[in-house]
Amino acid sequence: MNSNQKGFTLIELLAVIVVLAIVMLVAVNAVLPQMEKARRNSFSIEVNGLIKSAQQHYVIAQMGNFVLDKGQTCCVDLTYLISTGQSELKESDGYKGFVLINNDATGNIIYKPYLENGTFYTDASTTSENKSYGEADAKSVSGKSVSYNSCDSWWNSSHTEPSQQNKEPKCGY
């Protein structure tokens, strides 16, 4: 063999490839959790936007003489908010949901959002006060069947008596 030849041996090339593979594994494991966190954060921003849309709708409904008495709950469907331009979410992006508006016994208006996008969902069934939704409130949909995704499905599941099935749960529309 001529000792003047220049280049890399097969072993040197394999060593470089192994080192690069290890670096990629470390980088991917560091980036993937941050991507998941960003998706959850983005979803919680969308939930807060849905609440603001429902608040805007409720104010408009009150101006039209809609009254929600103490102890009553009504519902605003996401499809309605989208169709009237009060929400920036799009059903074509896989969003389904609604907001329950509750006038509690003390006269406080409480907004309870239910939103799902195929990846995450939020369920405010245990919420007793208004709050800002964060990353921790975005639950993963995988393996979970979201029980209802519209005002009608919520109303029919929570009001099982036939006399209640026909009552209109919607807030001023």
Angle at CA of residue 127, ends 171 and 113, nearest 5°: 45
Q: Write out pLDDT tens, residues 89-114.
A: 888 888 888 999 988 888 889 998 98
Residue 65 lies in a domain: yes
Kindly provide the b/e burial profile for residues 66-90, where b requires at least 16 CB atoms within 10 angstroms of the residue's own CB.
bebeeeebbbbbbbbbbeeebbebe
Name residue 116's beta-bridge partners: 96, 121
Q: What's the mean per-residue pLDDT of the chain?
A: 83
Rounded distance, CA 96 to CA 94, Å? Answer: 7
pTM beyond 0.85: the answer is: no
Do residues 84 and 75 make contact, with C-beta atoms less than 8 angstroms apart? no
Q: Write out pLDDT tens, residues 139-168.
A: 887 766 556 667 877 777 665 555 554 455
Rounded distance, CA 171 to CA 76, Å? Answer: 6
Tell me the average pLDDT across 108-135. 81
The pLDDT score that the predictor gives to residue 148 is 62
The single residue listed with the structure tokens 């939020």 is 122
Q: How many domains does the structure of the chain reveal? A: 1
Q: Place 136 in a pLDDT band, splitting at 50, 70 and 90.
A: confident
Residue 27, classified by CB atoms within 10 Å of its CB into exposed (0-12), middle (13-18) or buried (19+), is: exposed
Residue 81 lies in a domain: yes
Rounded distance, CA 12 to CA 78, Å? Answer: 60
Report whether pLDDT(9) > 80. Answer: yes
Tell me the average pLDDT across 16-33. 93
Residue 5 lies in a domain: no
Report whether pLDDT(24) > 90. Answer: yes
Rounded distance, CA 66 to CA 47, Å? Answer: 24
Residue 78 lies in a domain: yes
The pLDDT score that the predictor gives to residue 159 is 58
Question: Residue 93's domain spans which residues?
Answer: 10-165
Residue 172 lies in a domain: no
